[in-house]
């Protein structure tokens, strides 16, 4: 396994696991606590999530305010464009984003720290997305930012995504309520 920090968002970590392939298929470790700690991911994960989505689906950009979640995300099947956005007021990287292509072939993982918004879109026929969370899902703390906020200018690989009505109604970052954004540090 190797890992590197994002050039755009140094707190975001891109993990590339070692994949052992042969005629039977492949094997890899999806999580090894001591290695992740060495890469600066000290959090304890308390919840695993599984998401199945069809081509063109976009989920996000989501975050939790009072119970911020760090997430370790990978595509178990298919291809997704996964995005982390720094939305922490006062952060030197506020409003910047990192996007990584996560596939069932490359098995890369993206670590999104607490206080960042997260979203992904599916570019394959379907995708199974797995992610570990550092806090439990807290519906009352759920917030979000508009996927196509012009100020963020995320370069999504799809134009007209399939989305939930709730996600379509999310505000642009500048219109988020004053107390609805995390602060740095």
Active-site positions? 62, 131
If we measure between CA atoms, which residue out of 136, 82, 92, 147 comes closest to residue 114?
136
Check residue 51 and report its DSSP letter. Answer: E
Cα torsion for 174, 178, 91, 143, to the nearest 10°? -80
Q: Collapse the DSSP code of 179 into the 3-class scheme (helix H, G, I; strand E, B; otherwise coil) and give the result.
A: helix
Residue owning tokens 């999504």:
156
> How distant is the alpha carbon of residue 39 from its chain centre?
17
Nearest-angstrom CA–CA distance, 164 and 38: 37
**CA 132 – CA 32 distance, rounded (Å):** 12
Q: Which 3 state secondary structure label does DSSP give 139?
A: helix
Residue 20 and residue 30 in contact, taking contact as beta carbons nearer than 8 Å? no
């Amino acid at each position: 396994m190797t890992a590197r920090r994002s050039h755009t968002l140094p707190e975001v970590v891109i993990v590339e696991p070692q994949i052992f392939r042969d005629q039977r298929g492949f094997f890899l470790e999806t999580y090894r606590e001591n290695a992740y700690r060495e890469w600066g991911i000290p959090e304890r994960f308390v919840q695993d999530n599984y998401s199945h989505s069809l081509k063109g689906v976009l989920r996000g950009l989501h975050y939790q305010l009072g119970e911020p979640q760090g997430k370790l995300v990978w595509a178990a099947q298919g291809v997704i464009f996964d995005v982390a956005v720094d939305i922490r007021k006062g952060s030197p990287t506020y409003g910047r984003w990192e996007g990584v292509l996560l596939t069932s072939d490359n098995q890369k993982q993206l670590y999104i720290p607490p206080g960042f918004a997260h979203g992904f879109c599916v570019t394959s026929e379907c995708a199974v997305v797995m992610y570990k969370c550092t806090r439990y899902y807290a519906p009352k703390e759920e917030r979000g930012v508009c996927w196509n906020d012009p100020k963020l200018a995320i370069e999504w690989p799809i134009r007209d995504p399939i989305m939930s009505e709730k996600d379509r109604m999310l505000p642009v970052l500048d219109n988020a309520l004053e107390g609805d954004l995390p602060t740095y540090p």
